[in-house]
Amino acid sequence: MPRRPPQYDDYRGAVQQIISSSSDTDYLDQLIPALKDATNSNRTAAFMQSLSHYADEKEADIEQIGLTKHDEFLQSVNQLQTVREGTVALTSEILQLNQSIQASTEKLAAQKEKLVETKSIRQNIAEASEGLKESLKILHAVNQAHDLIRKRKYYAALKALDDLQNEHLIPTIQNKYATQHKLADIIQKSIPASQKAISDAVMNDLNTWLYRIRETSQFLGEVAFYHTSLRQKRQKERSEANPQLKTYSLNSAIELVFDESEEFDVLENDEVSVEFGPLFEAIHIHEALGQSEKFRQEYAATRRQQKDLLLPAAISLIEDDENGLSSLLEAIAGFAIIEKATMRRSPNLRSPVDVDELWDSMIQTAMKLITKALDEVDNAEVVLKIKGVIALFIQTMDASILTLLTYLDTDFQQGWGYSVTALDTFLLTLFEKYAELLQRRFSEDFHEIVSTDDYMPMPIATLEEYEKVVNVTWFTPEKEPTIPCVLPFSQMYPLSCIDIRNFLNQFYFFADNHFQHPNVIDETLKKALDHLLSQKVCKLLVERLNSQYLGQIVQILINLEYFETACRELELLLIQARSSTSAGGPIVLNATEEFRSNKKTAEKRIFELVNSKIDDLVETAEYDWMAPTLEAEPSSYMSTLTQYLSNIMTSTLLGLPREIKELIYFDALSHTANLILALPLNPNVKKINPNGVAALAKDVQYLSDFIDTLDNAPILKQNLDELQQTVLLMQTENPDEFYDIGVRNRKFGRVDAMSGPMILEKLTYSVQSPRNDRLANFSSRFGMK
């Protein structure tokens, strides 16, 4: 609640309180409420009366004091008068002194004015001197920066410019009253030009470094290839010393462990040294200038241009010169190694995407150049050499290789972390070319071997020669030969075996060092080998079966026999040699069956030639079926025939397997018997007398005696059963026995039921009607007219 002012009925107490206030503040605090109360209650006159009354009382008190203290008052007045007189005298003296001081002050002021002016001049000189010193510091810093630029200490120069700005220019520019303000402003405006000069100088040095790097790339790649070849050699030596290591290829974990002690830095060695200082300096300079992204783009563009300059328009795979494959891949390897090393040292400059993009571009271009140049290559050895260079390149740059000790400097890794999948796939194309050339070359070799063979059993003069033949062929003799000797096959067989082994070895040469598709080699080799054996050996041998020379046909049959054996051995060899990635199961060469089936063709051809000769000999038979006298000796054709059969068995057919010889003999004797049997059945023979029968019987007996001298005579003589029984029928005194089924089956069971009556009809016997009736009845029973 607001405080209400006090009410006054009588203002004498209020006046007393106001007058007795101890301070002006209390005085006012007491006076104001009293005035407000008097004004509000219209009692102002009363209040003024109280004040006047109080004043009268005080005047009365003063007058009373003056009446009672009069002497003392007068004394005080006298003293005061005396003091006043002294004061006037002192005032006069002061005025005089003041005039004197004023005069001195004017003189001093003049001197002080001169002093102030002198101090101002000295101050200006001092400030000018200080400004000059600061300007000299600025100019010295500027000169120092430019001197560092001239000394190619670009980063130090840039740091000097930065210090110049922070320590001198910026503070001076901010102080507008500084004497060197204008100079600092001019120098500040020149800083960008100085920074650009540093940037240009750094880029010039960098371009020089890039040029040297481009020139060094091929040699760097050559050093890297050489180091990889040394690793290959060490791994090969380890594999030869420990066969268990043969399954571990170059760049495998085992190889890396064994080769760990052979630490080699391809960028820093006795042959080559790559200094990255200019690059790092350029990176630092552009980072300091805030131009890192621009520098990264310019550097990437420069490297792309260098990549394009690195790759030629065409290469030669035949000539190993500066335009050859080795030079190309060495240059690519060196370029890629520099890129990977740059990325590892400065990840912000070269990203994996940038590096891999350049790598893929170079690899694609290289594969196109190689593919185009492959058309000129017609030698499998050249293709194998090309594959070796590419494999060395792959093993040097393979991405699957990681250092086993990750704490070591990454530059000492055995690989550079690049993807070689495209190159691995490209090796398939190279292998197709290699297989094509190999097949073409060996096709020509086989054709020449088969075409120039003499088709005679191969003579062996020395034991050394014999051992060589046995080692290269799949020939297992039953017993130790007596040197000199003659082997059953002709010279084409061991020569073909040598070519087959060389063909196998050269196919698998492609898998040496590096080839990720061994199953392709297995399958391609099987098809190629099948084609060569079928089309270039078997087919040519079969074509030569048209020869009329029996000895050549026999030799071809023998060769076919050994080639069939060789094919079976090759099937086992291919199973042993195939890689673990190939499908399991047996390997069957189609050539095996072709050699086997064409042996039958050769046998038939031998039968044809033997039988043809027999035909010729039997055709010379000149039987006088109505001879007036008996022949004392066998026919000349029969002696010639038996002599021929004896000769071919002891000479021409001697090298054939026993079962084939027996089969040929069996067929020849069967054919001979059929031909001889056909002689009396010839329609031109109308009559046969006993002398003619005796001549035939003598020849048949001569042939039988000849067969008795042969091996397996009982079996071979079965071919003469029909002929002998027919002759016996012609000699029988009772022809009617043939018409008696029981007797005929017992004595003439092998005689053809159709031929018997025809023979009997030609015999010259006394013709009686009952016999003719029986012959007519027999003929009607068998459908004969």
Q: Copy the structure tokens of residue 143.
A: 């000169």
323 or 285, which is more confident: 285
Residue 1 inside a domain? The answer is: no
pLDDT of amino acid 657: 80
**DSSP per residue over 353-412, as a string?**
HHHHHHHHHHHHHHHHHHHHHHTT---HHHHHHHHHHHHHHHHHHBTT---S-TTS-GGG
pLDDT of amino acid 777: 45
Mean pLDDT across 600-614: 89
**Tally of domains in the chain:** 4
pLDDT of amino acid 130: 67
We report the CATH number of the domain holding residue 747 as 1.20.58
Q: Are residues 262 and 203 in the same domain?
A: yes
Residue 671 inside a domain? The answer is: yes
Alpha-carbon distance of 157 to 143, in angstroms, equals 10
Determine how β-strand 458-460 pairs with β-strand 485-487. antiparallel
Does the pLDDT of residue 412 top 60, yes or no? no
Burial class (CB in 10 A: 0-12, 13-18, 19+), 775: middle
Does the pLDDT of residue 546 top 70, yes or no? yes
Mean pLDDT across 536-562: 88
pLDDT of amino acid 125: 79
SS (H, E, C) 220-261: HHHHHHHHHHHHHHHHHHHHHHCHHHHHCCCCCHHHHHHCCC
pLDDT of amino acid 494: 92
Q: Copy the structure tokens of residue 5.
A: 């002012």
Q: Are residues 468 and 441 in the same domain?
A: yes
Query: Which residues are within 8 A (CB) of 506 and not within 5 positions of it... i.e. 6 or more apart?
Result: 380, 384, 438
| Percent of the chain surpassing pLDDT 90 | 4
Q: Are residues 643 and 513 in the same domain?
A: no
Does the pLDDT of residue 99 top 50, yes or no? yes
Q: Which residue has the tokens 């010393």?
A: 241
pLDDT of amino acid 773: 43
Q: Are residues 517 and 651 in the same domain?
A: no
Quickly state the pLDDT bin for 165 (edges 50, 70, 90).
Answer: low
Residue 415 inside a domain? The answer is: no
574 or 64, which is more confident: 574
Q: Are residues 266 and 373 in the same domain?
A: yes
Residue 156 inside a domain? The answer is: no
Residue 106 inside a domain? The answer is: no
Quickly state the pLDDT bin for 782 (edges 50, 70, 90).
Answer: very low
Quickly state the pLDDT bin for 406 (edges 50, 70, 90).
Answer: very low
Residue 135 inside a domain? The answer is: no
Q: Are residues 458 and 372 in the same domain?
A: no
Q: Are residues 630 and 593 in the same domain?
A: no
Provide the mean pLDDT of the chain. Answer: 78
Last residue of a domain, one of 68, 86, 107: 68
Does the pLDDT of residue 411 top 60, yes or no? no
Mean pLDDT across 729-735: 82
Last residue of a domain, one of 46, 68, 90: 68
pLDDT of amino acid 717: 85
Residue 612 inside a domain? The answer is: no
pLDDT of amino acid 365: 92
Q: Are residues 207 and 342 in the same domain?
A: yes
CA diameter of the chain: 238
Other beta carbons within 10 angstroms of residue 505's beta carbon come to: 10
Quickly state the pLDDT bin for 244 (edges 50, 70, 90).
Answer: low
Last residue of a domain, one of 571, 605, 639: 605
Q: Copy the structure tokens of residue 777.
A: 């009845």
pTM: 0.67
pLDDT of amino acid 784: 42
pLDDT of amino acid 40: 65
Query: Lowest-confidence range among 135-139, 204-208, 484-488, 780-784?
Result: 780-784
Q: Are residues 628 and 599 in the same domain?
A: no
Q: Are residues 673 and 747 in the same domain?
A: yes
pLDDT of amino acid 783: 43
pLDDT digits (tens, 9 = 90+) for 328-366: 888 888 888 888 888 888 888 888 888 889 999 999 999
Alpha-carbon distance of 554 to 657, in angstroms, equals 11
pLDDT digits (tens, 9 = 90+) for 673-707: 899 888 888 888 889 888 988 988 898 899 899 88
Q: Copy the structure tokens of residue 159.
A: 């740091």
The answer to whether residues 524 and 435 touch, using CB atoms and an 8 Å cutoff, is yes
We report the CATH number of the domain holding residue 542 as 1.10.357.30
pLDDT of amino acid 766: 34
Q: Which domain holds residue 354?
A: 197-305+326-410
One-letter amino acid at 735 equals P
Q: Are residues 377 and 480 in the same domain?
A: no
Does the pLDDT of residue 584 top 50, yes or no? yes
Does the pLDDT of residue 556 top 80, yes or no? yes
> Dihedral of CA 41/45/48/52: which sign?
negative
Q: Are residues 593 and 671 in the same domain?
A: no
Mean pLDDT across 742-771: 72
Residue 491 inside a domain? The answer is: yes
pLDDT of amino acid 102: 80
Q: From residue 388, give the alpha-carbon distance in Å to each of 266, 293, 375, 394.
A: 21, 42, 18, 10
